[in-house]
Amino acid sequence: MDIFQTYPQLQVFLNYLKFEKKYSKHTLISYQTDLEQFFAYLISQYDAPAVQTIKPALIRSWLGELKEDELVAKSIRRKISALRSFFKYQLKTGAVVQTPMTTIVSPKLNKRLPSFVEETQMKDLLARENFTDDWNGKTEKLILQLFYATGMRLSELINLKENQIDKSNLHIKVTGKGNKERIIPVAKELIDLLEQHVAEKRKNITIDVPNVFVTISGKLLNPRKVYSFINHRLKHVTVAKKSPHVLRHTFATHLMNNGADLNAVKELLGHSSLAATQVYTHNSIEKLKEVFKKAHPKA
């Protein structure tokens, strides 16, 4: 039994996320995967009940099976979130008169502090003279500098266009999740490095590509390759997790540790909720505890 034929509301919802909400490809895949899994379960276990007849008990039954399969709480919360969005849209379009999600409770998460790279380790990494003097070496170093200086996401960096760099106002315009734009101030030194990189790109690459970062053949960077070289570089200086996202955590944590306003960090990161940014206050508190233990005679 085909899921999309049985539940045509699913494709309508996914089209809504893609064309109206402008969700990223990665986010769309996550929604589709989670919702397909849910409706496949309904087809196999409950003979495909109509959307308007789905009750909380059916959803709890599916969640119970996920727990039995030892799916982690974070993944279960994501699936519940996908269902909430789906039924909220069905309510909006009149497909259902009541959402079955009102009594569904998401499992609690164990709070973990974001992993980050220490300031001295970042300085050591960027000061090292082990970047080759060719296109790849220069690109890798500049990408590391940009991640650390802006806190942008991997997808934002790969899709960064030349016209998003504003030299006169010393800022970069970033297009983030949900196609939302935000402004990130950057130092003149970094703007100059970006301009030099763009000039060299135009000189060496005959294809007209608007993206700032491309391969030597003019193709867009592969996210996996960026992840790979970031991992390779970071493993020489830190035991923290080694991914582009860790540099985003590092950017935010260093700002907080040096007294930045929480709301300002929220805007710089492009968070829609302050709650997502507040996790970085825990790292700054841990830093204060560390300073206290080292400096106070009664600690």
Helix ranges restricted to H, the chain:
3-6, 8-15, 25-46, 56-68, 73-93, 119-127, 135-150, 154-158, 188-204, 223-234, 244-257, 262-269, 274-295
* CATH class label, 3-93: mainly alpha
Residue in 248, 249, 254, 266 annotated catalytic: 248
Start and end residues for every CATH 1.10.443.10 domain found in the chain? 119-295
pLDDT in tens, 52-95: 999 999 999 999 999 988 888 989 999 999 999 999 999 999 99
Model confidence, pTM: 0.67
Beta bridge partners, 204, equal: none
Start and end residues for every CATH 1.10.150 domain found in the chain? 3-93
Residue in 78, 84, 271, 282 annotated catalytic: 271
The mean pLDDT value for 211-233 works out to: 93
* Amino acid of residue 7: Y
Residue in 153, 197, 201, 266 annotated catalytic: 153
pLDDT in tens, 158-173: 999 999 999 999 999 9
232 an active-site residue? no
Residue in 171, 245, 282, 287 annotated catalytic: 245
46 an active-site residue? no
87 in Cβ contact with 97 (< 8 Å): no
248 an active-site residue? yes
Distance CA 194, CA 189 (A): 9
Give me the CATH code for the 119-295 domain, please: 1.10.443.10
157 in Cβ contact with 146 (< 8 Å): yes
